[in-house]
Amino acid sequence: MRTLTRTNKRLFTPFALAVSAALSLTACGSGDGSGSGGTDARAAAETGKIPATDVVSAVKAYEPAARLLPAGVHDLTVGVAVSGQLPGTSYLDDGKTLVGQDIDFSDAVAKTLGIRLKLEPASFEAILPALGSGKYDFGASNFGVTDERRKTIDFVTYINDGQGFAARKDSGLTKITELKQLCGLNVATGAGTTFEATLEKNKHVCTDAGKKAYGVQTYSESGALWSSLQQGRSDVVMSTINGLRYAVAQQPGLKFLNEYHRLDVGFAFKKGTKLAAAFQAAVNHLIADGTYETILKKWGTTDSAISTSRISPPELKN
């Protein structure tokens, strides 16, 4: 399960490799040094290595959860987006082995259910549309639960993350609390994400206020996104709260601006899946036996803990 049958080499431009290496240092905390962190993440930052603690191999099958699987399910294919931005999914130096928080959670759930996973790298924006065709049995790439997505996708939640902003330290931006603060600026974000949807949906706040609308620049590769910011082609980045905190901790000259909007994050399935109950039971078992907290501590993301897994809850409105 650790060696992939397909490698997306397109992600590894020279700059993307440099950024991935920087992000792989995996310190946690916001730009001002606040926020919770994990011992493994802090130690990794000191040595320049990805957290190496094995938090999955000791997980045992849990029969009450496994019995909820549809009959005959032994292998599942999971679509994962390789952003290169930890604690999201990234490759190790071998260019084949995937690591990250989503990988650890997927592996832990699979072991709890006694099934095997086939990890398939894909672009973030391609995974959700492919669930309906059966190309992937589920997706695990920090998919935020939104009311729009719930129309066609079922979710089983496992963390709480959300939307935030970062900019260069020389930027005049400080704490972003409303999108009107972005008017006239260029905002870089991931293609096919909730960030892109939020930005596009709310462009009118600038024109309604008689101001120039902000521009939305979308990227499928983490390296290209951060390059646009560092080289001045964009003014601010909108991305995951956890991912931004990692990036700011490891890339010089950046600052974390704010948590803008929290979202539940879940494994994504096609609507009407029969796998949801088993996955929910597996996540709740991992929470109960302490494995869940161990994974969060490894990646320094304990602020993203949830108390119980839910199936397709309403979008958080905060």
* Residue 36: per-residue pLDDT: 38
- pTM score, two decimals? 0.79
Mean pLDDT over residues 277-304, rounded?
96
Q: How confident is the model at residue 37 (pLDDT cuts 50, 70, 90)?
A: very low
SS3 content of the chain, % helix, strand, coil (to 5): 35, 25, 40
Residue 157 has φ and ψ, to the nearest 5°, of -75, 150
CA separation, residue 314 to residues 138, 144, 158, 263 (Å): 20, 11, 15, 10
Over residues 274-283, the mean pLDDT reads: 98
pLDDT more than 90, % of the chain:
70
Here the tokens at position 38 are: 């994990």
Task: Please give the Cα distance from 221 to 84 (Å, whole number).
Answer: 8
Between 125-129, 182-186, 241-245, the lowest mean confidence (pLDDT) is in 241-245
